[in-house]
Amino acid sequence: MFYQLIGEETFKMSRIGKLPIPLPAGVSVTISPTNLVTVKGKLGELYQQVDPKITIKVDGTNLIFLRNSEERDDRAKHGLYRSLLSNMVKGVNEGYTIVQELIGVGYKATAKDHLLELSLGYSHNIVMELPKEVKVETTAERGKNNTIILKSNDKQLIGQVAAKIRSLRKPEPYKGKGIRFLGEEIKKKAGKSASST
């Protein structure tokens, strides 16, 4: 059964790989002889080294992906690199934004340049230095939860940064206090009720 599931997942990835990626106006793609792909757009440029078993071609305004064989590993890589390049094209053209909420009395965040300072109920504040590719803002409106807003053209990087921030104070299951993604629902546990006499 395990191998069957692996096979189904690989088949899905290979189907993804066959889909061309439309290139928006203002986005250019160059492919070096070593299969290093550079994607440039109004929000910057990104790089991705692609396995030589996957051939990438620019066909007009589309990016086409071809694989050299029907082996399972090649089919999986076909879909993987197509997904990565699709994320890069969207990143340099539109960018990615992640919003996180700080839920808890006294929890707050302040940002300056690429430094994020967090007060999360510990004995000391936590200061994080974010990669220069990730922009950070914070909001603190009366009556609302403080928020952290992350922006970047790199989907993988912004996801890693957001996961690291969340790990500093994961939402606890009783009152939901902690750092959560905007719109994230936390399954709460029922606390112990006082026994009646």
Q: What is the pLDDT of residues 28-76, one digit of tens each?
A: 999 999 999 999 999 999 999 999 999 999 999 999 999 888 888 888 8
Tokens of 139: 């909001």
Angle (deg, nearest 10), helices 72-93 and 2-17: 50
The pairing of beta strand 28-31 with beta strand 96-103: unpaired
- The yes-or-no verdict on residue 77 having pLDDT over 50 is yes
Please name the residue that has the structure tokens 């290093």. Answer: 36
Between 120 and 75, the more confident residue is: 120
Q: What is the mean pLDDT of the chain?
A: 88
The pTM of the whole model exceeds 0.75: yes
Q: Which fold has domain 2-93?
A: Outer Surface Protein A; domain 3 (3.90.930)
As its CATH architecture, domain 96-181 has Alpha-Beta Complex (3.90)
Domain ranges of the chain: 2-93, 96-181
Cα separation, 64 vs 73, whole angstroms: 19
- The yes-or-no verdict on residue 116 having pLDDT over 80 is yes
- The yes-or-no verdict on residue 157 having pLDDT over 80 is yes
Task: Tell me whether domains 2-93 and 96-181 share a fold.
Answer: yes
The whole-number pLDDT of residue 84 equals 96
Q: Give the list of residues 6+ apart from residue 22 with CB closer than 8 angstroms, or none.
A: 61, 62
Share of the chain above pLDDT 70, in %: 89
* Structure letter (DSSP) for residue 154: -
The whole-number pLDDT of residue 172 equals 87
The whole-number pLDDT of residue 75 equals 85
CA angle 39-45-46, nearest 5°?
70
Which stretches of the chain are DSSP H helices?
A: 2-17, 72-93, 155-167
